[in-house]
Amino acid sequence: DTGVSQNPRHKITKRGQNVTFRCDPISEHNRLYWYRQTLGQGPEFLTYFQNEAQLEKSRLLSDRFSAERPKGSFSTLEIQRTEQGDSAMYLCATHPLAQGRNQPQHFGDGTRLSIL
């Protein structure tokens, strides 16, 4: 069983640059979630998709953040004009909604973003 895959594992960039992260879900998991986790804190929900539809995006941190899931499979999270405060771990999780809401979300290893 292939788990949730996130790439890259670590991204280092200069302030002001744009970054994009990718998440490949477990096959047939139609729900996909993005979270941000800062040091010493729990994950913070950002947005989620059901197939290609983005069902909630009001919790994205600012208009510099955007996410897509164009074909209902992999998803990308983009941060434009990065700031120091964007340094964090970005987690992707997926869920097999058809199996019921009592099933857990499955998390990837995350992408750690470091802003210089």
Partner 1 sequence: AQTVTQSQPEMSVQEAETVTLSCTYDTSESDYYLFWYKQPPSRQMILVIRQEAYKQQNATENRFSVNFQKAAKSFSLKISDSQLGDAAMYFCAYGFDDMRFGAGTRLTVKP
Q: What minimum distance in Å lies between the beta carbon of 115 and partner 1?
A: 20
Q: How many CB atoms are located within 10 Å of the residue 95 CB?
A: 21
- Kindly state the DSSP code that residue 34 receives in the 8-state scheme: E
Number of C-alpha atoms within 13 angstroms, CB side, residue 14? 0
Chosen residue from 8, 15, 56, 62 binding partner 1 by CB under 8 A: 56
Structure tokens at 3: 């788990």
28 binds partner 1 (CB under 8 A): no
55 binds partner 1 (CB under 8 A): yes
Rg (CA), the chain: 14
- Among the listed residues 16, 13, 115, 20, the one whose alpha carbon sits nearest the alpha carbon of residue 65: 20
Q: What minimum distance in Å lies between the beta carbon of 43 and partner 1?
A: 5
71-110 footprint of partner 1 as x/- string (CB under 8 A):
--------------------x-x-------xx-xx-xxxx
Instruction: Please give the Cα distance from 45 to 15 (Å, whole number).
Output: 23
Chosen residue from 41, 62, 99, 114 binding partner 1 by CB under 8 A: 41
Site of interaction with partner 1 (CB under 8 A): 3-4, 31, 33, 40-45, 48, 55-56, 59, 91, 93, 101-102, 104-105, 107-110
